[in-house]
Chains A and B, each alone.
Chain A
Amino acid sequence: MTFDYAPAPESRAVVDIASHYGLFIDGEFVETIDGTTFKTVNPATEEVLSEVTEAGAADVERAVKAARTAYKQTWSKMPGRERAKYLYRIARIIQERSRELAVLETLDNGKPIRESRDVDIPLVAAHFFYHAGWADKIAYAGYGDRAYGVAGQIIPWNFPLLMLAWKIAPALACGNTVVLKPAETTPLTALAFADICRQADLPPGVVNIVTGAGQTGRLLVESPGVDKVAFTGSTEVGRQIQRALAGTRKGLTLELGGKAANIVFDDAPVDEAIEGIVNGIFFNQGHVCCAGSRLLVQESVHDEVLDALKRRLATLRMGDPMDKNTDIGAINSFEQQSRIDDLVRAGEDEGADRWSAPCTIPERGWWFPPTVFTGVTQAHRIAREEIFGPVLSVLTFRTPDEAVEKANNTPFGLSAGVWSEKGSRILWMASRLRAGVVWANTFNRFDPASPFGGYKESGFGREGGRQGLAAYLKQEVV
């Protein structure tokens, strides 16, 4: 006898999406001066959700000017304890509107409602609460107390509102004002956040949201009125930004790509490790910069782990992201699906063995089934390049030294996972892995008190924790 899941759709009635959005500048929604518009779609259905503004040069300048004025006249003069209360207010409103934000995120991004409801939005609220408390305690953090001024921030589409929180909360807590550009495929929760700023009576100009694509981002980075740039996204764009800012004395932090090793030793508890592997690479359709996309499994347990993993993957449910029982949602865009297709084809062409979970692919929208490659070597593109999709490359090792060597053999260094029952081995591994976050016997955990960020081509600077405040405070080095 088999059991089937009954449909359990989350209600869409909690959201009210306007047919058109302007830009949020100086505390109000305004129409563009020299921009255009573009459409944002639901990647699970290809339905057009709204028409959004692509900000032009004059729009970006207007937003930067509003941020500058707000910095000079209001925000920099306000005592930290008052700034703190605004951040607390924002955190509370996010909690109050959490269901609406979760639904909006899932509609625009394609991630399962279970994840936006249980992971993204609670972390967003937590992030504002955490940083609210810092606002009047900055001097205790050890990085001085001089804000940069205006921060220009650019965020990706994989965790739209959470990345906004990671950027805006510490920037405001440290006393900066911001102009933030959300990703072009996921602007809606950022625009909802603009409304939250209004409900919180945040002074106009402290937060400005300019929607658009790469060109809008470039304008923001190169605006002379921006004192600090914070970017999360691809290493390629990060490189362009670092180049553009060379010699300007603007502050810069980058959170870029990754190709994390998830290392399973032969003494690891297999069932827990399997859950960790699944969470590591199939959480959020693998659209996670710190995803555990390279499974390094000790040779002696390779077959056992792979069999258990495939059994587990066959039970994952792919489909309507709004269904509360869905595990794997939609790929965020056609472009991303094409990139995954390309790299998977390269994996096959280079001789690795592909296995994909038996999923029914919905007719509309963009999808990719959970996929595992075995027989992968370090030279394969699928072992070196970030796929940013639900694709796992499996490699093997014999000794801890070999595991470290292989894990570190990448230009990236964002995260790593270690599965073992032996405490001394875990600490030994953690001290040798060149990765900003090491998850031992767990994976993909996030917390506002926990610094996050990479080594090498995964970027520089940290977000979260005391260390994360350094990104928004001007340092003089003697």
Chain B
Amino acid sequence: MEGRLDVRKTYKLFIGGAFPRSESGRTYAVTDAKGRFLANASLASRKDARDAVLAARAAQGGWWSATAYNRGQILYRIAEMMEGRRAQFEDEIERAEGVSTRRAVAQVDACIDRWVWYAGWSDKIAQVLGSSNPVAGPYFNFSVPEPTGVVAAIAPQRPSLLGLVSVVAPIIVSGNTCVVIASAECPLPAITLAEVLATSDLPGGVVNVLTGAPGEIGPWLASHADVNALDLTGVVDDGVATEMAVAAAETITRVLPPPASPPDWSADPGLGRIRAFVETTTVWHPQGV
């Protein structure tokens, strides 16, 4: 509208279902692909990372004990909410990544479809990864996959939104909660996604989104004793990846290493990511009269 000054959005962190600024008060300027100013994003600190882990831990018990059906419904709801706001996502991706409208649209399509794909997995994981085990004795024995717990993830730089969704959805679908560091270069779509998550019946704390420098806060997350697993998919610096993997060893934290070659994010994701963040519990019980 000619002559009217638009109202800009303040992009903040997403922790425990709320949108706080970084406790450090720090921000960094986010620019578009041509270097023009877009917004000041929060530069998350070590303390923000700790708060996010606390929120993720607090949410884990409830999210895990929700029925798989319920988790699936909520993931599907996220897809529905994204569909309704797709124009905003397309616009943000186009500006942040400097890609064509067609590619931005394709990325948003893929994001929405990915939520739908993982939504459908929620009540099938145990059927595909679990088993009934024929032991040599009068026992009923079965194995079920259970969530590992709290997962800290580094989302890929590009594609900023599809990378984030592809990392987060398989973590939470099985009942884990997560702290994810969004693309440092293009963090704005991640925060807009957080607004979708906040209005999709996803309990606060299941997904916590930090913006900032993975090299700065990643190692703190890796060494945090209440983080059960690390997803290093978005770590591009081998030194940082190794530093984080070394820190993880202190409490035997599970580590999904960065991909050996750049992944094809449009490909069928398979079960690998879900499997990386579940544990198998095996239960024995005697049979008899």
Contact = CB atoms under 8 A, between A and B. Distances in A.
A456 interface: yes
B252 A430 contact: no
B259 A477 contact: yes
Given A436-B282, A457-B252, A465-B133, A442 B242 contact: no
A90 interface: no
Contacts of A75: none
Nearest to B140: A440
Interface string A440-472: 111001010111110111111010011100100
A467 B137 contact: no
A238 B253 CA distance: 11
B269 interface: yes
A126 interface: yes
A246 interface: yes
Contacts of A247: 238, 241-242, 245-246, 257
A447 B133 contact: yes
Contacts of A199: none
B285 A440 contact: yes
A430 B249 contact: no
B81 to A, nearest CB: 25
Contacts of B129: 142, 467
A465 B131 contact: yes
B248 interface: yes
Contact of A467 (B134, B136, B259, B280): B280
B241 A256 contact: no
A242 interface: yes
Contact of A437 (B242, B268, B284): B284
Interface string B75-109: 00000000000000000000000000000000000
B282 A437 contact: yes
Main secondary structure of the interface of B (DSSP, over half): mixed
A239 interface: yes
Given A142-B128, A447-B137, A478-B263, A239 B252 contact: yes
A243 interface: yes
A476 interface: yes
A445 B242 contact: no
A465 B285 CA distance: 17
B224 interface: no
Interface stretch (B12-20, B22-30, B188-196, B270-278): B270-278
B256 A441 contact: no
Contacts of B286: 441-442
A377 interface: no
A438 B249 contact: no
A478 B250 contact: no
B279 interface: yes
B254 interface: yes
Contacts of A457: 251-252
Interface in A216-266: 235, 238-240, 242-243, 246-247, 249, 254, 256
A360 to B, nearest CB: 35
B249 A239 contact: yes
B66 interface: no
B6 interface: no
B250 to A, nearest CB: 7
B250 A436 contact: no
A477 B238 CA distance: 18
Given A242-B245, A465-B143, 11 more contacts: A247-B246, A426-B285, A431-B146, A439-B284, A447-B136, A449-B133, A450-B141, A451-B133, A465-B131, A465-B133, A477-B276
Instruction: Name the 5 nearest CB pairs between A and B, nearest first.
Output: A247-B242, A246-B245, A477-B272, A242-B249, A447-B135
